[in-house]
C-alpha cells in the first residue's frame, strides 16, 4: 500500500504518517528528514544537498525524486510507504508517477487533509513544546470543533514534569498565513491531477487526531476491501 498525505503546513500530516507507519508497517518517507539524513551521510548525493542547502536554495525536483527512489529501492520487500511533504507541485507529482512506474509500483491513495485556514492559524500560532522531552502542547482550548492540547497543569509538562517550554520562531500568525498562501499557489493545483486519477480522498484535518486517524483508516480500508 503506497499513500500520499496532502495538506498545508500544520494539518497534522507528520502525526498521521507516523501512526500509519506504526499501524500498517508502512515506511514514512518524510522528505525533510530524508534530506537531513542524506546530508549527514556524506554521500555524493548528500554533498550536493549540503551545498544547495548551505546556499539557502531549494533542492531540485530531480534530487528529491532520486532520494525517494533510493529509499524505495533500499527496502523493496516492505509493506509500502506513506509520503509526507512530497509532492508539492504538479511537475513533482508527474515525476513521482514516472519513477514509480519504472519500478512497477503505483499509488493506492492520496489523502487530502482539509482544513479551516483561520482555525489552522490559531492552532499553529498557539503551539509549543517541552524543551526537555519534546512533547507538543497548545496554548488554548477552542471546542467543540477544534480541541487543542494545553498542559493539564499550566506551565508543567504532562510527560516529564519540566517547566521549560519553547516555540518555533516560524509559528507566528503572519508566517503561517504566508505558508498557507504558498500551499494554495503551489500545491493545491495537484489536487485535480490526483482527483482525475480517482485517487484523491478528503478527510477533515481539523478533527481531533484520533478521529483523523479513524477517518484515514476508513479511507484506506475501502480499496483493500474492493480489491479483496
Catalytic residue among 39, 88, 123, 201: 88
Residues 6 or more apart in contact with residue 137 via CB below 8 angstroms: 127, 128, 129, 130, 149, 150, 151, 157, 158, 165
Parallel, antiparallel or unpaired: strands 109-114 and 2-6: parallel
pLDDT values of the chain reduced to their tens digit, one per residue, 228 residues: 999 999 888 888 988 998 999 999 999 898 888 888 888 888 888 888 888 888 877 788 999 999 999 888 887 667 899 998 789 899 999 999 999 999 999 999 999 999 888 877 877 777 788 898 888 887 754 444 444 677 889 889 999 999 998 877 666 778 888 888 888 888 888 999 999 999 999 999 988 889 999 999 999 888 544 333
Q: Is 123 noted as a catalytic residue in this protein?
A: no
Q: Is 48 noted as a catalytic residue in this protein?
A: no
Grid cell 479551516 in the structure block, residue: 116
Bridge partners of residue 146, in order along the sequence: 142
With both helix axes pointing from N to C terminus, report the angle between 173-186 and 117-125 in degrees, rounded to the nearest 10: 140
H/E stretch holding 112: strand 109-114
Catalytic residue among 18, 48, 177, 179: 179
On whether the pTM is more than 0.85, the answer is no
Catalytic residue among 13, 27, 39, 123: 13
Grid cell 509526507 in the structure block, residue: 84
Q: Is 55 noted as a catalytic residue in this protein?
A: no
Catalytic residue among 79, 168, 214, 218: 168
Q: Is 127 noted as a catalytic residue in this protein?
A: yes
H/E stretch holding 4: strand 2-6
Q: Is 106 noted as a catalytic residue in this protein?
A: no
H/E stretch holding 158: none
Amino acid at each position: 500500500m503506497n499513500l500520499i498525505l496532502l495538506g498545508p503546513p500544520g494539518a497534522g500530516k507528520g502525526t498521521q504518517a507516523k501512526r500509519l507507519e506504526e499501524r500498517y508497517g508502512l515506511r514514512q518517507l518524510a522528505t525533510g528528514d530524508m534530506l537531513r539524513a542524506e546530508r549527514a551521510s556524506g554521500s555524493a548525493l548528500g554533498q550536493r544537498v549540503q551545498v544547495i542547502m548551505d546556499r539557502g536554495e531549494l533542492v531540485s525536483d530531480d534530487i528529491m525524486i532520486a532520494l525517494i527512489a533510493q529509499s524505495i529501492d533500499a527496502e523493496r520487500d516492505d509493506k509500502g510507504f506513506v509520503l509526507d511533504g512530497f509532492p508539492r507541485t504538479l511537475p513533482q507529482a508527474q515525476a513521482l508517477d514516472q519513477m514509480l512506474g519504472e519500478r512497477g509500483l503505483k499509488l493506492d491513495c492520496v489523502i487530502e487533509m482539509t482544513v479551516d485556514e483561520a482555525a489552522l492559524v490559531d492552532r499553529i500560532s498557539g503551539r509549543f513544546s517541552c524543551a526537555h522531552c519534546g512533547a507538543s502542547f497548545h496554548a488554548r482550548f477552542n471546542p467543540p470543533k477544534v480541541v487543542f492540547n494545553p498542559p493539564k497543569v499550566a506551565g508543567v509538562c504532562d510527560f516529564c514534569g519540566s517547566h521549560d517550554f519553547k516555540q518555533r520562531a516560524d509559528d507566528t500568525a503572519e508566517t503561517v498565513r504566508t505558508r498557507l498562501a504558498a500551499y494554495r499557489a503551489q500545491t493545491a493545483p495537484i489536487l485535480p491531477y490526483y482527483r482525475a486519477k480517482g485517487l484523491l480522498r478528503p478527510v477533515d484535518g481539523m478533527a481531533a487526531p484520533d478521529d483523523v486517524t479513524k477517518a484515514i483508516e476508513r479511507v484506506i480500508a475501502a480499496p483493500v476491501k474492493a480489491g479483496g
